Structure 1
Amino acid sequence: MSEKIKAIITGTTGMVGEGVLHECLQSEKVESVLVINRKTCGYTHPKLKEIIHQDFFDISAIENELTGYNACYFCLGITSVGTAKDIYFKMTYTLTMHVAETLSRLNNDMTFCYVSGAGTNSSEKGGINWAIVKGKTENNLIKLPFKQVFNFRPGIIKPTKGLKYTQPYYKAFMWLFPILKAINKNSFVTLKEMGLAMINTSNYQNERKIVEVKDIKTLA
């Protein structure tokens, strides 16, 4: 793609979002990055702009700052472990769809990349609650008038060394990653590959697809 990427990234105070931001700041394909956070991500860079905004269920106050972008890498999310079903639905489906609906209205040339997860249930029927909610989110994102939508389903993610938001239990089990990769390479992806794959979705046109681990590696 000849056009430079102007990306919005959410969730950059979390491990996945920070990793994607890290790749974007290094990539010559990315011209500018806007991050939206409830608290600062702590990064400064010539092509980085940050908006601090508390209520992601109402982003009307910052709409005028969300235009002119052609990519969104949506890495914001919470764990389902220990979270009530209604809260998980609100923070996963309702929040994501509100932001996505707003961005699709403001930017008709936008590629939207959503971090879902391996095992997501596209049928939205039966099974594990988190997988059903993620499936519903994926299905409805695909219906929005974006130029294209990619629903990423990573499995085990190896963090990028040196980044500050890597979760402690990932650091503790870093030595296991080569073993896990040898056992099942199709469930293993690096955070670097995630970031590069998102950047490279802009090379495509009019795609709406599920991106499994093997696809992430190919895109990267």
Structure 2
Amino acid sequence: MKRKALVIGATGLIGKNVVNQLIQNEGYEKITILVRKSSGLTHEKLEEIIVNFNQLEEYEQYFQVNDVFSCLGTTIKIAKTKENFRKVDYDYSLKVAELASKAKVQNFLLISSMGANSHSNIFYSKVKGEVERDIRTFHFSGLFIFRPSLLLGERKEVRLGEKVAEKFSTIMPFIFSGPFKKYRPIKGETVAKAMINSALSGRKGEQIIESNSIESISRM
């Protein structure tokens, strides 16, 4: 039986790749995306819903799917304030998980970050860690938490750290070998592929997938 998927954060680097790959995947018959503004994507398998993320509970009917791919994420630079950052990365992510759990979604796949830790002194890592911690209060047959390193791929905005890492990984790839392999930048399309493979894997329970494991899962 073919599956249905819901993608949140479909206009971001990973989310966009997830949507494109789901469309091409014969195992999925329908992909729904909840977005603030139109993504510009069109396909017979794709349903785009423009939503107000502050009122996500009004769209709970769209959570009647097999798999939810939660790819929400912003930066302090874009969000402007810590409060706005937390609203997107924590509040919205937890609301998505709550609605998915209520709808008895089979698999919940979350993009977190390397270094996520609810006790971290780094605000970004702390919020990501709090999302991971609190999302565990909801029930899913499969909970997959991905912690990618710096991401490679085309974005609307320039992220200096990612551009620098990309340059180093090209010029001096040996820097990211041995014990530093887990810090090697990874392509957004690779993360997306690993997410879809995980959703189709039949694995149950909680899976924390660190950056150095994502590439191998993408080749499954």
Matched, 1:116 2:112: yes
- Structure 1 stretches (4+) deviating beyond 6 angstroms? 170-173
Q: 1:196 corresponds to which residue?
A: 193
- Equivalent pair of 1:56/1:99 in contact (CA under 8 Å): no
1: CA distance, partners of 2:156 / 2:82: 26
Ranked by relative contact order (alpha carbons within 8 Å, sequence separation 6 or more), the top structure is 1
SS class of match (1:114): strand
Higher helix share: 2
**Any gaps of 5 or more consecutive residues in structure 2?**
none
Matched, 1:71 2:63: no
Q: TM-score, normalised by structure 1?
A: 0.84
Identity %: 28
Q: 2:216 corresponds to which residue?
A: 218
Alpha-carbon deviation of 1:30?
2.5
1: CA distance, partners of 2:120 / 2:182: 25
Q: 1:154 corresponds to which residue?
A: 148
Cα 1:145–1:172, aligned 2, differ >3 Å: closer, same or farther?
closer
- Equivalent pair of 1:150/1:209 in contact (CA under 8 Å): yes
SS class of match (1:43): coil
Residue among 116, 121, 124 paired with 1:127:
121
- Equivalent pair of 1:154/1:189 in contact (CA under 8 Å): yes
Alpha-carbon deviation of 1:135?
0.4
2:36 partner letter? R
- Equivalent pair of 2:6/2:62 in contact (CA under 8 Å): no
Cα 1:169–1:98, aligned 2, differ >3 Å: closer, same or farther?
closer
Deviation readout 1:171-199 (Å, 9 max, x if unpaired): 97665542364421422211221111111
User: How do residues 23-34 of structure 1 correspond to structure 2 at under 5 angstroms?
Assistant: 23-34=21-32
Q: TM-score, normalised by structure 2?
A: 0.84
